[in-house]
Amino acid sequence: NTEALANKISLSISGVAGEQLVRALAEDEIDVDSGSACSAADLQPSHVLAAMGYPTTGHLRLTLHSGTTRDEIDSLKKAISRAIS
């Protein structure tokens, strides 16, 4: 698909529940989602991710914008490291 959005990042972390990671990052005031954007309102495991062959647990979806700074990305990396350790 050539019409993908360049500001979306999707990643999966083995052994980590996506919703738990979302809640842990929310404590650091970092707003992320779990699952695919196609089924964001659905609390069930994403059929879209499964159909693509991706894990449906431990999934994190991030949206960057033109004002996202390197410091914000570094803070995100540190917060994810804390949340999964």
CA atoms of 41 and 71, how far apart (whole Å): 30
For helices 18-27 and 70-84, the axis angle rounded to 10 degrees is: 120
What number of other Cβ atoms are within 10 A of residue 22's Cβ? 19
- Would you name the residues annotated as active-site residues? 38
